[in-house]
A = this chain, B = another copy of it.
Amino acid sequence: MELFSVKKSVIQKKHKKNIRARVGIMRIRGREVNTPIFMPVGTYAAVKTVSPDELKAVGAEIILSNAYHLYLRPGERLIRDLGGIHKFTGWDRGFLTDSGGFQIFSLSEFQQISSEGISFRSHMDGSAHFLTPEDVIRIEEDIGADIIMPLDIPTAIPTSYEDAKKACSTTIEWAKRSIERWNKGKKEATLFGIIQGNIYKDLREKCTKALTDINFPGYAIGGLSVGEDKPTMYEILELTTRHLPDEKPRYLMGVGAPEDILEAVLSGVDMFDSVLPTRNARNATVFIPGGRILLRNADFKNDEKKIQEDCVCYTCNNFSRAYLRHLFKTREILAYRLATIHNLYYIMNFVSKLREAVYNEQIETFIMDFKKGLI
């Protein structure tokens, strides 16, 4: 059984934009999962504030965890010895682990890259570590995720061309070593390649070409949505997906704003993850059609309405904005969960509607409704 197949492609040339969207099916742990898909982030093998059954209730199919974090705590060997991440957490649907490349650079200290691997100090206790691309594959296999990512070197924006080029070359080298290591194992997890190259088009093209030559079961687009302006991001995205094979899944890492997901789906991206809906929720910011509202706001003091009038999530079914505001003002932990449930439901529902719009070739209507603040 193939991991992924395209169910329908929609190619349109409208206005200035080339639409090359698609709807696909991903097979993961015996379930058929529709793409495009949004994957909630559960860095430490738990999506912050919510339980597995609440994740199912919002329609989650794949959770993203982080190999770097789990390696540090509780340790991948422990998870392996306890039967793998699905048994450990009670989440019996899909798990994807990021390699932690991005996290090593953004969280840990004293990172040093050699051709062999990365040395760094833990952001938690300062302990010294050294990881090779081979180590990371082994760690992810021990964790037992369904989809795994190779160790890569993302670069900040801006980064000089020379530095970006060097990081891109090492990322390609490490991708080769990762797939070699993976080929020697049981291949129970699916390994994706991660495309880097910063905002430099020729580097992105070169990286895409190199990784597709290696021929991964899927491709991730890394190093975007890290501070570049939106036109640049969309341009790089469009360029990259154009060079990717149709039959393989495409995963845009770390992107979760509805407008960005829309743009990326129109460029042919299938998978997304982001802390945005869950982190926003914990800061009392909840998504509604047309934007976001801050539940702490005095406007909602005696607002008996639900967060979103036509929403059927657990939170909207049971609680008013006034009560949620009260919970946030009194710092009740329940507040964080209820807002998280709504935001996850909102974004899952957004992607689901977008998927239907692509499948029914009603993309223009979807875009118009989105711009009108109806979705």
Contact = CB atoms under 8 A, between A and B. Distances in A.
A51 B301 CA distance: 21
Contacts of A301: 74, 78
Contact of A89 (B45, B78, B304, B323): B323
A326 B74 contact: yes
Interface stretch (A28-36, A223-231, A332-340): A332-340
A73 B330 contact: yes
The 10 closest A-B pairs by CB, nearest first: A44-B330, A49-B333, A74-B326, A46-B332, A90-B318, A46-B334, A88-B323, A82-B322, A333-B333, A78-B302
Contacts of A110: none
A302 B82 CA distance: 7
Interface residues of A, number: 37
Given A46-B334, A51-B338, A82-B304, 20 more contacts: A45-B323, A46-B332, A48-B332, A48-B333, A50-B334, A51-B318, A51-B334, A73-B330, A74-B301, A74-B322, A74-B326, A74-B329, A82-B323, A88-B322, A88-B323, A88-B326, A90-B318, A90-B319, A90-B323, A333-B336
Interface of A: 44-46, 48-52, 69, 73-74, 78, 81-83, 88-90, 301-302, 304, 318-320, 322-323, 325-327, 329-330, 332-334, 336-338
Contact of A326 (B44, B304, B333): B44
Contact of A333 (B69, B81, B329, B337): B337
A140 to B, nearest CB: 18
A149 B292 CA distance: 41
Nearest to A50: B334
A74 B327 CA distance: 9
Contacts of A329: 73-74
A78 B300 CA distance: 12
Nearest to A45: B326
B81 A318 contact: no
Contacts of A48: 332-334
A100 to B, nearest CB: 15
Contacts of A52: 318
